[in-house]
């Protein structure tokens, strides 16, 4: 019985070693042609634009705190006596792509970059004689991406800044598993209200020069399982099931003969 048990575990280890050996470095290495790639300066295409349902933090400050007060939801004193944070009171971009700001009214912000909105609000305050030397800060409060499929920790992640790459997102998700198909990753992005699907090959360094290297808020990254690994998994499962069934049958037969065979004593 001990011999059969040892045989079973040796066979299982052999199957595992075979599966690992079938995975070549070409299937798992990133940027395999990076030595031959001419790196280019990427234009500022990574900067996100404001979309419906975005949550924006907009802070307005200036030399005179009493003048600034009406233009902020919540104020807190800081060392300079100017407007502080309005934490927990974001501006939600509505279904029309607009926000309602105290003192400025309804503003169309959809499609604007963050810096465009800063300049727009600054001009409205300064040129309208509302605030002298206004300082405007705009940031995204819900900049997030979703990573699904063959990664260690799939899920939706809130990113720390607006300049995020696909590698940073995969890093947040714990990186790709060995079973991931690295040359056929799918990036799903909302462009002008339409879902766009982009294929990304991480085994080639072209992605480093691509506008899709930098993510937009609400991007979804799907990492499929490699076909080879699917076949290996299916074959290994089938083989293991057959071997296990055979071992079980063998043990049953041996046990039967041990019971029916009379002892010499």
Asked whether the whole model's pTM tops 0.85, one would answer: no
**Three-state secondary structure of 56-92:** EEEEEECCCHHHHHHHCCCCCCCCCCCCCCCCCCCEE
pLDDT of res. 25 = 47
- pLDDT for position 122: 95
CB 176 within 8 A of CB 154: no
- In the numeric block, which tokens belong to residue 239? 């083989």
Q: Which of 176, 208, 83, 77 is nearest to 136 (CA)?
A: 83
Q: Give the separation between CA 236 and CA 13, rounded to whole angstroms.
A: 12
pLDDT in tens, the chain (265 residues): 554 455 455 545 555 544 444 444 455 555 555 555 455 554 445 677 898 889 999 999 888 888 888 888 654 544 334 444 444 478 999 999 999 998 899 999 999 999 999 999 999 999 988 998 999 999 888 889 999 999 999 999 988 777 889 999 999 999 999 899 998 999 999 877 788 999 999 988 888 888 889 888 889 999 999 865 545 544 445 566 666 666 777 677 677 666 665 555 4
Q: Do domains 31-47+143-223 and 55-140 have the same CATH topology?
A: no
User: 31-47+143-223 architecture in CATH?
Assistant: Roll (3.10)
The phi, psi pair for 195, rounded to 5°, reads: -75, 125
In 3D space, the residue among 107, 77, 78, 80 whose CA is nearest the CA of residue 91 turns out to be 107
Domain extents for the chain?
Answer: 2-21+227-260, 31-47+143-223, 55-140
Architecture, CATH, for domain 55-140: 2-Layer Sandwich (3.30)
């Amino acid at each position: 019985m001990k011999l059969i048990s040892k045989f079973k575990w040796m066979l299982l280890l052999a199957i595992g070693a075979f599966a690992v050996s079938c995975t070549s470095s070409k299937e798992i290495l990133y940027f395999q042609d990076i030595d031959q790639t001419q790196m280019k300066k990427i234009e500022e295409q990574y900067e996100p634009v404001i979309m419906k349902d975005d949550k924006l933090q907009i802070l307005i400050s200036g030399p005179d705190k009493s003048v600034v007060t009406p233009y902020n939801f919540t104020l807190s004193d800081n060392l300079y006596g100017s407007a502080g944070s309005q934490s927990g009171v974001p501006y939600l971009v509505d279904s029309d792509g607009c926000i309602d700001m105290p003192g400025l009214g309804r503003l169309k912000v959809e499609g604007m970059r963050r810096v465009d909105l800063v300049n727009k609000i600054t001009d409205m305050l300064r040129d309208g004689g509302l605030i002298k030397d206004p300082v405007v800060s705009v940031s995204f409060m819900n900049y997030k991406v979703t990573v699904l499929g063959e990664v260690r920790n799939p899920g939706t992640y809130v990113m720390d800044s607006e300049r995020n790459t696909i590698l940073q997102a995969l890093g947040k998700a714990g990186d790709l598993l060995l079973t991931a198909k690295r040359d056929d990753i799918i990036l799903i992005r909302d462009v002008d209200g339409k879902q766009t699907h982009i294929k990304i090959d991480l085994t080639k360094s072209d992605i480093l020069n691509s506008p899709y290297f930098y993510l937009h808020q609400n991007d979804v990254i799907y990492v499929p399982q490699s076909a080879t690994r699917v076949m290996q998994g299916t074959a290994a499962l089938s083989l293991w099931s057959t071997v296990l069934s055979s071992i079980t049958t063998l043990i049953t037969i041996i046990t039967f003969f041990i019971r029916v065979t009379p002892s010499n004593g």
